[in-house]
Structure 1
Amino acid sequence: MGTFSSVKGDEKGAKGSKYSHGEKEMEWFNRILKYYFGTHNFHNFTTRTKAEDPAVRRFIISFNANSEDDWGCRGYHEELCSRSTDRKSFAEDVNINVPTTPEVGLYLEECFFTSYNKKRKDSHEELSMKAYEQEPEEFKNRFTAYV
């Protein structure tokens, strides 16, 4: 996910950076994120699709922003993922051209198989990433720490 910043004039933020945000801005931002909960049609962010196409519907299970540091961690839990759709639908406050594929990459931190496991619990073994928890954490610490 992308990040946001809210600063008035030359005012310094909570951590001293001119791009920091305060508690008031975090509350405001989290109120906005609540509008994304549930099922929504994102046809205007999905290339070469029509508004009636069921493939453009997304079910957002959770979406939050925290204030652990100046840039904060933005996370959401979605039933189905689509890199370009997600990036555009959550980042387009101002009408700007957003590339179909993020030029700096997109890091998918965790996969959930909740729906799959519920539908196939009687016929298939549970699908999980638990056996691979360490590798993504090492990758994240090694390659995304400087971003």
Structure 2
Amino acid sequence: MPTFMLSPDVKVKYELSDEQPEQNFDPDNFRSTKRVRVTLDQSEIQEMYDYRLPQERREILEKLLAKYVGTHKFHNYTKQGKAKDKNMQRFMMDINVLEYKVYDGIEFARVFLRGQSFLYNQIRKMMGGVFLIMHYGLPESFIDNTLKDNDVNVPTAPGEGLMLNRVAYDRYNNNRKKDIPEPVKPWDSKTEELENFRIGLVNYIC
């Protein structure tokens, strides 16, 4: 994700969308689902692109991402999820920021997530929750509340840059029968090709 999305300092002007002129947008109200049009002049756009996430905010990002690790109810992180639905429970094994890198003048944070399985739009909404806290200043407890039996509208972050890195069969391989001598490693021979594709995808977005 571009790190300027995590900055509280970038000035953004909001105007009502022509599609919903009768509705007001409240950036402090995380239940808002209003669509808005963002207008920036050239100097503000350049200021946004020049932003670099400082170390103290990198630590906040990692702290927020860590809240998702473990087994939680992710009903607020998918379409029409219900807290009582056991199918909404997911196990996130690991979430890390692998690197911060500048592409075409814009700094990106490369976030790696590993889970047993994912719900529809789950990852994008997880990033949306982090965005609300770091950009709009919602309390860190916001994420904790979304993982409880509450109905909370979590925004969906843009999908550009999100990609499936690999499919792991660790559980199957560790418990495979004796008549299956070789573990399943579908993409091991394609590591270089996958990395080239990832870099090309980022360059295309930029």
Kindly indicate which of the two structures has a greater share of residues assigned to strand: 2
Structure 1 residue 139 corresponds to structure 2 residue 197: yes
Structure 1 residue 127 corresponds to structure 2 residue 184: yes
Distance 1:120 1:82 in 2: 26
**Secondary structure in structure 2 of the residue aligned to 1:112:** coil
Aligned residue for 1:109? 165
Aligned residue for 2:129? 92
How far the C-alpha of 1:71 sits from its partner, in A, is 1.5
> Which amino acid is 2:62 matched to?
N
Q: How high is the sequence identity, in percent, across the aligned residues? A: 26
Q: 1:49 to 1:33 in 2, by over 3 A?
A: closer
**Secondary structure in structure 2 of the residue aligned to 1:36:** coil
Question: Any unmatched runs of 5+ in structure 1?
Answer: 11-15
Question: Any unmatched runs of 5+ in structure 2?
Answer: 12-47, 102-106, 133-152
How far the C-alpha of 1:126 sits from its partner, in A, is 1.4
What TM-score does the superposition give when structure 2 sets the normalisation length? 0.55
Assess if the C-alpha contact under 8 Å between 1:5 and 1:20 holds in 2. no
Alignment of 1:1-147 (within 5 A): 4-8=5-9, 17-69=49-101, 70-93=107-130, 94=132, 97-98=155-156, 104=160, 106-122=162-178, 124=180, 125-128=182-185, 129-147=187-205
RMSD: 3.1
> Which amino acid is 2:165 matched to?
E
- How many aligned residue pairs are there? 140
Distance 1:32 1:54 in 2: 24
What TM-score does the superposition give when structure 1 sets the normalisation length? 0.73
**Secondary structure in structure 1 of the residue aligned to 2:204:** coil
Distance 2:54 2:72 in 1: 30
Assess if the C-alpha contact under 8 Å between 1:7 and 1:18 holds in 2. no
Structure possessing the higher radius of gyration over alpha carbons? 2
**RCO greater where, 1 or 2, for CA within 8 Å and sep 6 or more?**
2
